[in-house]
Amino acid sequence: MLESKIINLTVRDVRFPTSLEQHGSDAMHTDPDYSVAYVVLETDSAAALRGYGLTFTVGRGTEIVVCAVKALSTLVVGKTLKEIVSDFRGFYRLLSSDGQMRWIGPEKGVIQLATAAILNAVWDLWARVEGKPLWKLLVDMDPAKLVSCIDFRYITDALTEQEALDILVKAKAGQKSREEQMLKEGYPAYTTSCAWLGYTDQQLTQLCSEALAQGWTKFKVKVGADLLDDIRRCSLIRKLIGPNNTLMIDANQRWDVHEAITWVTKLAEFQPLWIEEPTCPDDILGHASISKALAPLGIGVATGEQCHNRVMFKQFLQASALQFVQIDSCRVGSVNENLAIILMAAKFNVPVCPHAGGVGLCELVQHLILFDYISVSASLKNRMCEYVDHLHEHFKSPTIIRNAHYIPPKDPGYSCEMLEESLQKHQYPQGEVWRAIEQQGKQ
Ligand X SMILES: C[C@H](O)[C@@H](O)CC(=O)C(=O)O
- Give the footprint of ligand X on this chain (CB under 6 A): 24, 26, 29, 32, 58, 192, 250, 252, 305, 355, 357, 386
Name the residue nearer to ligand X (CB basis): 358 or 413.
Answer: 358
Name the residue nearer to ligand X (CB basis): 126 or 196.
Answer: 196
Name the residue nearer to ligand X (CB basis): 22 or 427.
Answer: 22
CA proximity to 140, closest of 424, 367, 429: 367
Q: Which listed option, ligand X, Mg ion, none, makes contact with residue 304 (CB within 5 to 8 Å by class)?
A: none
Residues forming beta bridges with residue 407, ordered by sequence position:
400
Q: State yes or no: is 29 an active-site residue.
A: no
| CA–CA gap between residue 29 and residue 60 (Å, rounded) | 12
**Shortest distance, position 60 Cβ to ligand X, whole Å:** 13
| CA–CA gap between residue 413 and residue 409 (Å, rounded) | 9
**Shortest distance, position 59 Cβ to ligand X, whole Å:** 10
**Choice among 136, 308, 355, 405 that is catalytic:** 355
Name the residue nearer to Mg ion (CB basis): 9 or 195.
Answer: 195
Name the residue nearer to Mg ion (CB basis): 155 or 368.
Answer: 368
Q: Which listed option, ligand X, Mg ion, none, makes contact with residue 351 (CB within 5 to 8 Å by class)?
A: none
Backbone angles phi, psi at 250, to 5 degrees: -135, 115
Q: Which listed option, Mg ion, ligand X, none, makes contact with residue 357 (CB within 5 to 8 Å by class)?
A: ligand X
**Shortest distance, position 277 Cβ to Mg ion, whole Å:** 6
**Choice among 132, 222, 314, 394 that is catalytic:** 222
Q: Which listed option, Mg ion, ligand X, none, makes contact with residue 32 (CB within 5 to 8 Å by class)?
A: ligand X
* Helix (H/G/I), strand (E/B), else coil: 224: coil
Put the strands of the sheet holding 35-43 in their side by side order.
Answer: 6-15, 35-43, 50-57
CA proximity to 249, closest of 293, 197, 201: 197
Q: Which amino acid is at 339?
A: L
Q: Which listed option, ligand X, Mg ion, none, makes contact with residue 24 (CB within 5 to 8 Å by class)?
A: ligand X
CA proximity to 394, closest of 15, 134, 9: 15
Nearest residue to Mg ion on Cβ basis: 250
**Shortest distance, position 272 Cβ to Mg ion, whole Å:** 13
Distances (CA, A) of 384 to 308, 406, 422: 21, 10, 30
CA proximity to 306, closest of 336, 272, 280: 280
Backbone angles phi, psi at 364, to 5 degrees: -75, -50
**Shortest distance, position 71 Cβ to Mg ion, whole Å:** 29
Nearest residue to ligand X on Cβ basis: 24
Backbone angles phi, psi at 407, to 5 degrees: -90, 125
Name the residue nearer to ligand X (CB basis): 29 or 153.
Answer: 29
Distances (CA, A) of 265 to 219, 239, 403: 19, 19, 33
Site residues (CB under 5 A) for Mg ion?
250, 276
- Outline where 171-216 has alpha helix (H): 175-185, 201-213
**Shortest distance, position 16 Cβ to ligand X, whole Å:** 12
CA proximity to 238, closest of 214, 218, 261: 218
Q: Which listed option, Mg ion, ligand X, none, makes contact with residue 29 (CB within 5 to 8 Å by class)?
A: ligand X
Euclidean distance between the first and final Cα of the chain, in Å? 53
Would you name the residues annotated as active-site residues?
222, 355
